[in-house]
Structure 1
Amino acid sequence: MLLDTSIVSTAVPAISDEFHALQDVGWYAAAYNLGSAALQPLTGKIYNCFRLKWSFLTFFLIFEVGSVLCGAAQSSPMLIVGRAIAGAGASGLLSGSIIIVSSCVPLRRRPPLIGTIQGVAQMGTVIAPLVGGAFTSGVTWRWSFYINLPFGAIVSIPIIFLRIPEQIQKKPAREILSRLHRHLDLVGFALLAPAVVQLLLALEFGGNQFPWNSSQVIGLFVGAFATFVVWIFWNRYKGDEGLLPFSMMKRRVIWASALNYSFQMETLFGTSYWLPIYFQAVKGVSAILSGVYLLPTILGQLLFTVLAGVLVPRVGYVPPFSIFAGILIPIGTGLFSTLQPDTSTAKWVGYQLIASCGRGAGLQMPIVAVQNAVDQRELSTAMAFLLWAQYIGPTIFLTLYNTIFSTSLRSLVPQIAPNVDASAVVAAGATSFRDLVSPQDLPSVLVAYSDSIDNVFYLVAAAGVGGFFAAWGMGWYDIRQKNRESPGEPPAVEG
């Protein structure tokens, strides 16, 4: 599933060329995260009410359907819809895997197992650009999505025959279905999801399809704010039965961990999407070679993810790892903002290593912190909130990244290359613009492209700084003392 979050990154230039839709680049990732962010709060309720196995497999099926639609896409809008459906399915997969493992073992045995999940998951995230580049250059970008089908068979068929314990006692499905709207807080979901969608549409349309001061953009912002305010009152009224209970979210460990996770994922997506565009558009390399150029990110993040997973149970404290990440990530991503057409290999390799080592050390820490701050009955909802923050932040920031890039490119091309049509460069795609520009104007256009990407990395670095500040609130307690069976924790129930 996490392979799918960024596998499209190195394929984006080829996709934008085929569909002639450079303006949709941000949506290829944002739509996936939008589907996940809209449905994520509901997944906690679903896993609390229904059997873990069948809930997990249902999310898996939705994910696979979305993957098929993406692979078969005949237009940019069709691809975006497929990404949204795949994201909706993905919303319950990572949280479901963590809840399932947590229901199988006592608290003291969870950290290494959760670390294993995170290590495998983050390996998927960091190798995805390389895999996507290989498919794009060697076969077709469509296999970046079709690859999920054989993986799906390998995973889902054995799960059907497994006995998976339940994390809490659950009522029969017939009883839950008769009062589904109350158990799942469907009213809260019907308020929160549209608020998120309206906000993201406003950010995507502003400065692209419509001016920022247009009635369409302003209306979407107002609608998002109004709907969100109504949801806040409803959620407060529902109390602990609400979609995201305020009594849980207001705990410092939980909201600080959610913020930290969100900021780190914003830097991950910013790096994994815009570095390949820099390599392919500015450096002029192929999709597969741009994936190879990301190896420093892959190796640094993988190494430090494993290292941090081994060390945190021995050190006992989560914040030092997150603070370490919060120092390195802004430095590395800030250095990305200096990239130019003539930047040497040593520099962009070094910049990647700085950022990826920090991110590898910090990405799994929010989950470790939250796991040790809640009991079994709160686990599903807490994980849903944490992963919702993981999705909603990058979804918003990806639209901002795309807006910054498009606006900058439209502004800088006329300044640096006055003989070139900026609109034609934007419409051509991240690699095809070279066919439209004369050899005399190409160096100036490449400078405009690199400067526009640099502007994106200013915001990526700012997100890294946000993660640094959030890290200080992630619970200064010794998790070695917490890693025991929680008092009053209900026994696991076979299902």
Structure 2
Amino acid sequence: MESAKSENTRNSQSSPSPGKEQPEAGYPSRLSLSLIALGLCLAVFCFALDQTIVANAIPRITDEFDSVADIGWYGSSFLLATSAFQLFYGTAYSYFSIKSTFLIATGLFELGSLLCAVAPSSTAFIIGRAVAGLGGSGIMGGALVIIAHSVPLRRRPLFIGAIGAMFGIASVCGPLLGGVFTDRLTWRWCFYINLPFGAITVIAVALFFKPPRRPAVDSLPFLTKMKKLDWLGMFFFVPSIVSLLLALQWGGSTYPWDSGRIIALFVVFAVLGFAFGFVEYKRKDQAILPPSIITQRSIAAAAWYSFFNGAAFLVVIYYTPLWHQVVRQVSAVESGIRLLPMIVGNVVMVMISGCLVTVIGYYAPFMLVSTILTPISEGLLSTWTVDATFSQWFGYEAFAGIAFGAGMQQPVMAVQTVLPIDQIPIGTSLVVFMQTLGAAVFVSVAQSVFSNQLIADLKQFAGLGGGGFNPTDFLSAGATNVFNKIPPQLVRPFLDAFNHAVTRVYIISICCSSLTLIGSLAMEYKSVKNGKKKEETAA
């Protein structure tokens, strides 16, 4: 009954009949709805694509900008901005015009994409990625809010499912498309592609979406709305996360771990993080991270699982193309094609697990299955050598894709099942936030481990400290350009060193996947069938 009441309360704000769902005639026409849905799907597709499309283009980007040391920031700058402002957009959609807020978010994402496409330097590229992440953080949640006000309740799951499918497909196909663009055109087309799709989204939403009337919110003065946003929480949260990532990015490579600068960054992260938690506790339901939601057992378990699962998955996605392009010396397109076993395995297993959850009703067992299988699959990836056979890299990648796919969507299912309908957008944003935050943190950790391990391995395996080649010079060279800077007799030792460094990175994924066990075991065993029957009975 609580779920139905929440839905009725929200619909009454945009309907003249209190307590009743908005009549069919109050929604967009079939043509308008089709165009709105098309625009939203394209926006979500581009946003999800940007999370992984750069993975296969990284070697060429580093060749052009001459800086392998920035690899971690190419991914984490986008993910940091996304995770830092995603929950903020949830509050913004509650108090400001849904249409205007979504269009602003889309505009920022498009601006960031343009900056990346025309970037003249590595620094400019990183800034563009951050701007794109700032805008992209409001796209997924905004798309779901717009669907909620454009589609009757009984038809809504179809459209939400389409948006979710678009997100999943784009996330796993990003590296392949990145390889195609990088080899056939230029890596800059990985970002140019967002511009026409974004234009369609802006036109569709601006012309055909009619935002709901919300008298209680619309009547508030602009300054009052601004005051309701959790600015104090954001003030502590953003620099706290930036300090953490800077410490992880610089520690052990740019500065020693025990240097004053790194220690200071960790201290700033801890102090501001504590202040953020205190502010959220005091603001309660007005916080960007409401304690009443995160303290629910299933939501906390879903958040924990998403944090470490997202971290493990993206580390594998980022460094597997690098292994293929450098160690196996294949093109960007070929390395993208070689990711197909993982991509296909992931997509197929996501679909199968979704069907099985629909039939069985329980999603928690699939999280546990994924928790068991993913560390095993990543352990197999860590056994790769320069001479790895086709069956080894193909089979291990396929196994990893299947292992991740079994549990990838289950935290979202938990949110959909245990929360009342009016809290589902906040819960969903929290899960996505934790997923992107985990990825942002551990991509930086992976880069630090990779850089330090590579330098150590070059000295140990190849003796490259002599002969006029300094191992640290590799960090300022492009990933594939390095073959032009080392003597031919040292190519094989270099490949052995590079292979070892990449496969050590997979140990990070093993650790993260193992930690998802806590979320899997803590998840409540609730059935989506019971939730559905209860909603239908209440309605």
CA drift at 1:116: 3.0
Alignment of 1:299-448 (within 5 A): 299-419=344-464, 420-448=469-497
Aligned residue among 316, 324, 331 for 1:286: 331
CA drift at 1:375: 2.0
Find out whether 1:456 has 2:505 as its counterpart: yes
CA distance in 2, matches of 1:92, 1:473: 30
Find out whether 1:155 has 2:201 as its counterpart: yes
The normalised TM-score by structure 1 is: 0.94
Change (3 A) 1:113 1:50: same
CA distance in 1, matches of 2:510, 2:210: 42
Q: Which deviates more from structure 2 when the two are superposed, residues 9-18 or residues 111-120? A: 111-120
Query: What one-letter code is carried by the residue in structure 1 that aligns with 2:127?
Result: V
Q: Which deviates more from structure 2 when the two are superposed, residues 388-397 or residues 101-110? A: 101-110
Equivalence for 1:208: 253
Alignment of 1:14-413 (within 5 A): 14-103=60-149, 113-163=159-209, 169=214, 171-173=216-218, 175=220, 177-413=222-458
CA distance in 1, matches of 2:487, 2:87: 51
Change (3 A) 1:213 1:286: same
Query: What one-letter code is carried by the residue in structure 1 that aligns with 2:313?
Result: L
Change (3 A) 1:10 1:170: farther
Change (3 A) 1:317 1:301: same
CA drift at 1:46: 1.2
CA drift at 1:453: 0.6
Structure 2: runs of 5+ lacking an equivalent: 1-46
CA distance in 2, matches of 1:338, 1:213: 32
Aligned residue among 521, 532, 538 for 1:472: 521
Q: Secondary structure at the match of 2:216?
A: coil
Query: What one-letter code is carried by the residue in structure 2 that aligns with 1:117?
Result: I
CA drift at 1:283: 0.7
Contact 1:10 1:276 in 2 (8 A): yes
Contact 1:115 1:309 in 2 (8 A): no
Deviation track 1:239-269 (CA, whole Å, cap 9, x = no partner) reads 2111211121111111111121222221221
Contact 1:131 1:291 in 2 (8 A): yes
Deviation track 1:372-414 (CA, whole Å, cap 9, x = no partner) reads 2222332332222222111111100000000000000111101
Contact 1:47 1:380 in 2 (8 A): no
CA drift at 1:325: 1.9
CA distance in 2, matches of 1:487, 1:293: 46
User: Which has the higher relative contact order, 1 or 2, with Cα contacts under 8 A spaced 6 or more apart?
Assistant: 1
Q: Secondary structure at the match of 2:278?
A: helix
- Which is greater in Rg? 2
Query: What one-letter code is carried by the residue in structure 2 that aligns with 1:466?
Result: L
CA distance in 1, matches of 2:203, 2:486: 52
The normalised TM-score by structure 2 is: 0.86
Change (3 A) 1:113 1:319: farther
**Percent identity over the alignment?**
34
Structure 1: runs of 5+ lacking an equivalent: none
Query: What one-letter code is carried by the residue in structure 1 that aligns with 2:199?
Result: A
Q: Secondary structure at the match of 2:418?
A: coil
Q: Which deviates more from structure 2 when the two are superposed, residues 203-212 or residues 142-151? A: 203-212
Q: Secondary structure at the match of 1:208?
A: coil
